Every structure is written in structure tokens, then in C-alpha cells.
A and B are shown apart, each in its own frame.
Chain A
Amino acid sequence: QQQVKQSPQSLIVQKGGISIINCAYENTAFDYFPWYQQFPGKGPALLIAIRPDVSEKKEGRFTISFNKSAKQFSLHIMDSQPGDSATYFCAASARAQKLVFGQGTRLTINP
């Protein structure tokens, strides 16, 4: 019940296209859903986060869509750029405690 399932495992998108990564969870106690971006040799960096009281949050080219009834959330990267090539992790936590991460998506943006 603590799992967060992420798909796809890898994704190739053309420059300027839309990258979409999906996550699903089981634990209804989760109340915070962040997305992290990680480059090789670096720690994860917070990209954008959402709470279950809203269905969508947008920051620049990054949008989280949240479906509470389906227990799913997704990251959309608009106008994808080669610099967006990285590994993306969704995560979830309850009551500001430990983060439970998805398995990661390796995103490649082709120029």
C-alpha cells in the first residue's frame, strides 16, 4: 500500500513536443505529491508539487494533473527541450514525513 507506481520507464520525445509521465498510488493517506528531476551524479531537485485539494498546478512549462478518485497524477512538460533530458521521479508522502518514490522515468529529448 506504500507503493507509488510510475510509467513509462523511459521516454523519448522530440524537441518542442509534450512529455507525459504518469504515477499511481494506493495509500489514501498521502497528502503531498512532488515531482523531482535528477541529473547523473546529482541529488534529486524539486520540480513541482501538488496537494489533493486541487486538480491541476502549472509552473512555467511544467504541469501536474491530479485525479484523486483514480489515485493517479501525472507530469506534463510542454515544449520539451534537450536540457530537460534527465530522470524524473514522482513521490508521495503523508503528514510531512517520508517520501515514497516511484521507480523513475528516464526522459530523452531529441534535438
Chain B
Amino acid sequence: GAGVSQSPRYKVAKRGQDVALRCDPISGHVSLFWYQQALGQGPEFLTYFQNEAQLDKSGLPSDRFFAERPEGSVSTLKIQRTQKEDSAVYLCASSSTRDTQYFGPGTRLTVL
């Protein structure tokens, strides 16, 4: 079936605006992860869901970042009052079996 999808693929925001990034995991995948990838760097963990429960949010850089997965499928990462340092690619990954994470294409966020 289809892989992990993310929307929008590109987002330009003015500093101070709120943004919402969407992730559609592979159907039936229990686990969902969000990562942030700065230019030229490896992805860095933000948060992790198992079904609708957010089990780990230790990677969220500030309280401006918020994620939810209310029905255990689609997830939204929200960033309030965006700052220039939030500019990055935001990657979503999902997993059904132990360990293997499948990544979406990412959302490139540019904050002006």
C-alpha cells in the first residue's frame, strides 16, 4: 500500500505565525515518530506516539511545539509563534513491527 505521507511538502511562514504539519502513517502502524532535520544534519527525535498515547516528548525543543494523534492514526505537529531557528525539514515515521521505521518525504519549513 501507500507509504507515509506528509503535508504540506513545503511551508513558508512569517516569524510569529503558527503552523500545523500533518502526517498520515502507513495504515495499521501503531507507532508514529516525529523528527527534525536541520540542513546537512541527521534527523533528531522530537516525539513518539503509540496509538493515541504520546509516550515520549523529550525531544520537543520548547513549549511552542505540540503534537497530537487523537485517533491513533493521523498526527499533527503544531508549532506556535514560529522562530527562524525552527526552519528545518520535519520528518514523520511510522512502524508496525519491532524497530523498523518508515519515513515520509518530510515537510520543509522556512520561517522568514
Contact = CB atoms under 8 A, between A and B. Distances in A.
A104 B45 CA distance: 15
Nearest to B91: A43
B99 A49 contact: yes
Interface residues of A, number: 23
A86 to B, nearest CB: 14
Interface stretch (A62-70, A77-85, A94-102): A94-102
B91 A98 contact: no
B41 A98 contact: no
Contacts of A8: none
Interface of A: 6, 32, 34, 36, 41-46, 49, 89, 91, 93, 96-104
Interface of B: 4, 31, 33, 35, 40-45, 48, 56, 59, 91, 93, 95, 98-106
